[in-house]
Amino acid sequence: MKLWAAAAAVALLALPLIGVDDYYLHLLIMAGIFYLLAAGMNLLLAAGQLNLGHTAFYGIGAYTSGLLGVHFGLSPLWTMPVAAAFTGFVGYLLGRLTLRLRGAYFVLVTVGFAEVIRLVATNWMDLTQGPMGLAGVPAFNLGIERWTLVSKRDYYYLMAALVAGTLFVTARILGSRVGRALAAIQSNEGLAESSGISAYAHTMLAMVVSCVLAGVAGAFYAHYITFLSPELFGFQNTVTMAVMVVAGGQGMVLGPAVGSLVFTFVPELLRMAANRMLLYGVILLLVVMFMPRGLVFYLRALLRGRAPSPAAVQAADAALETGRAAAAGAAPALDVREMTVRFGGLAAVEDLSLTLGRGEILALIGPNGAGKSTAFNVVTGFQPADTGRVDFDGADITGLPPYRIAERGLVRMFQRTSVFPEAPALDNVLTACHRLARTRLWEVVLMTEAAREEEARHRRRAQSLLNFVGLGRKAGEAAKNLSCGEQRLLGLAIALAPDPSVLLLDEPAAGLNAVETGQLMHLIEVIRSRGLSVLLVEHDMKLVMGLCDRVVVLNYGVKIAEGTPTEIQQHPEVIRAYLGSGEILADA
């Protein structure tokens, strides 16, 4: 695929030199503008948020740069960056307002936002000249006579530079740990958060970058066409961008590029200018219905046959590096005090206190509905408690958001599906190494030595964790294609990736057969021997009795017993809670 793209790039760059007509250069420039817009939309969509108000930022960039040029006579050399930054800032403000909204709400509010901006632009005549449009925007004048852009060819190369820059930045972002984080947020947000990834921070980053790109596109447009009208804010533009993103291939670097080229040229060459929108509509509908992954996705599948598994990463060992566990202090690993959680009038958990000692394996058992999952949710920050307190390694973590708790070293493995289904196994673990990253964003984008070295180190770590759980050879396999037992092992590797000192395992043996359960028990033993402390919720009694140091029993949200496995097995209250007493029918 890369070879094709490189060849196409060379061809495109050579076009003006071989005397291609200005008309086609203009089309390519417009395609470039839309590429910038589509690339931004694509980036935010990678995190699962669809911004159907994106054209507003296009217009804001255009008018900001244009107005600064018209009223203050500033050169585009200055106004373009200012416009881009301002647009990014507006995006940040909107993000603060809306990113906590999910799915449909976000889409609707962004649409509404674009409409408000359009109405303001149309009605605030003093500022924007309204529907009559703003004329006289200065063309590109970089202050030096020689560097004033005059011919189409000059604009073409400037646009080519912008496109190249955008391609580079988006490729770097999507191909790095940031891209993995975005995909993780879309795929399984809870798991992403508990691996130390802040959904809000990453989505906001994507939002701001996409708005800056839109600002650049708009500013370029302003100084290229030199005339602006509120039509820029029309929903038509958004539809065009959406077609380019979806039909091109969402979530992929080349998707918007292919989409913008195809959907600028095809309608033009068909000379159906009058019905262009109708054509767009039909194509979008057909693509959405039959090819939702987009052109690039299917093309790639065609060209490659079966996607080759990434070469197994060189990792000598199946060792478990546990830096943090070894460095732990004297306080108990986890200390829960008098936790109470109520739903309506009912107490799901009542006055629960338990302590997990350092290097201990503690099981939390009890019949269905006893409150075990609720307790886990509170400890890991997914749910607030009404009263009570949770101390981790001596520090109070009550009420912290999940990704912060994960950052400190308390990691949870969820029930059943604790993986990112679409990604290969290696990427699953690699994503979870997120919180170990020390390099900053700019280093990642520029691919500095430090960033590359860190990425390689994390890959090795991910591979060795896969080796440790016994999935070494399945590194390239998509997680959803693994068997139930293998997915569970992968979930364990994911939980170990952020180098925790305490592991919370939620029914790790559910659905596993005897052999797989034995494998799991062995792994947990090894994990403990490396200094981690483990708290698990389980129903599989063989595992609990065979593995755990101590057991805490809950029933109806209340702790009814605590002790060694043997003590618990003979405890009359426990037997009654699990098997039922049968006395209830006596008085029938």
Q: What's the min distance (Å) between Cβ of 360 and another protein?
A: 19
The residue among 318, 334, 335 whose CA lies nearest residue 534 is 334
Of 236 and 355, nearer to another protein (C-beta) is 236
Of 151 and 513, nearer to another protein (C-beta) is 513
364-392: b or e for each residue (b if 16 or more CB lie within 10 Å)? bbbbeebbbbbbbbbbbbbbebeebebbb
The residue length of the chain stands at 588
Of 272 and 326, nearer to another protein (C-beta) is 272
Classify the phi-psi angles of 148: left when phi > 0, otherwise alpha if psi is within -120 to 50, otherwise beta: beta
431-454: b or e for each residue (b if 16 or more CB lie within 10 Å)? bbbbbbbebeeebbbeeeeebeeb
Of 116 and 161, nearer to another protein (C-beta) is 116
Of 269 and 368, nearer to another protein (C-beta) is 368
- The residue with tokens 């006289």 is 136
Q: What's the min distance (Å) between Cβ of 195 and another protein?
A: 22
Of 97 and 326, nearer to another protein (C-beta) is 97
Paired residues of 355 in beta bridges: 335
Of 99 and 137, nearer to another protein (C-beta) is 99
Of 213 and 284, nearer to another protein (C-beta) is 284
- The residue with tokens 């309506």 is 344
Q: What's the min distance (Å) between Cβ of 382 and another protein?
A: 19
Quick one: tokens of 232?
């820029």
CB 128 within 8 A of CB 63: yes
Measure the CA–CA gap between 381 and 318, rounded to whole angstroms: 31
Of 314 and 581, nearer to another protein (C-beta) is 581
Of 78 and 297, nearer to another protein (C-beta) is 297
Q: What's the min distance (Å) between Cβ of 103 and another protein?
A: 5
Measure the CA–CA gap between 252 and 174, rounded to whole angstroms: 8
Q: What's the min distance (Å) between Cβ of 506 and another protein?
A: 11
Three-state secondary structure call for residue 503: strand
The half-sphere exposure of 127 on its side-chain side, counting CA atoms within 13 A, is 14
Residue 422: other Cβ atoms inside 10 A: 15
Q: What's the min distance (Å) between Cβ of 259 and another protein?
A: 13
- The residue with tokens 């008098």 is 338
Quick one: tokens of 523?
């792994």
Q: What's the min distance (Å) between Cβ of 151 and another protein?
A: 36
The residue among 556, 535, 533 whose CA lies nearest residue 544 is 535
Measure the CA–CA gap between 466 and 469, rounded to whole angstroms: 5
- Backbone phi, psi, residue 346, to 5°: -95, 135
- The residue with tokens 């994503």 is 431
Measure the CA–CA gap between 43 and 61, rounded to whole angstroms: 18
Classify the phi-psi angles of 207: left when phi > 0, otherwise alpha if psi is within -120 to 50, otherwise beta: alpha
Q: What's the min distance (Å) between Cβ of 109 and another protein?
A: 7
Q: What's the min distance (Å) between Cβ of 173 and another protein?
A: 20
Please name the residue ranges forming H helices in 144-275.
152-175, 177-187, 189-194, 199-225, 235-248, 255-269
Of 77 and 282, nearer to another protein (C-beta) is 282
Q: What's the min distance (Å) between Cβ of 376 and another protein?
A: 15
Quick one: tokens of 57?
């930022």
Of 284 and 400, nearer to another protein (C-beta) is 284
CB 283 within 8 A of CB 291: no
Q: At what angle do helices 235-248 and 255-269 cross, to 10 degrees?
A: 120
CB 381 within 8 A of CB 392: no
Of 365 and 502, nearer to another protein (C-beta) is 365
Of 75 and 238, nearer to another protein (C-beta) is 238
Residue 12: exposure state from Cβ atoms within 10 A (0-12, 13-18, ≥19): middle
Q: What's the min distance (Å) between Cβ of 584 and another protein?
A: 4
Q: What's the min distance (Å) between Cβ of 212 and another protein?
A: 22
Q: What's the min distance (Å) between Cβ of 198 and another protein?
A: 19
| First and final C-alpha spacing in the chain | 75
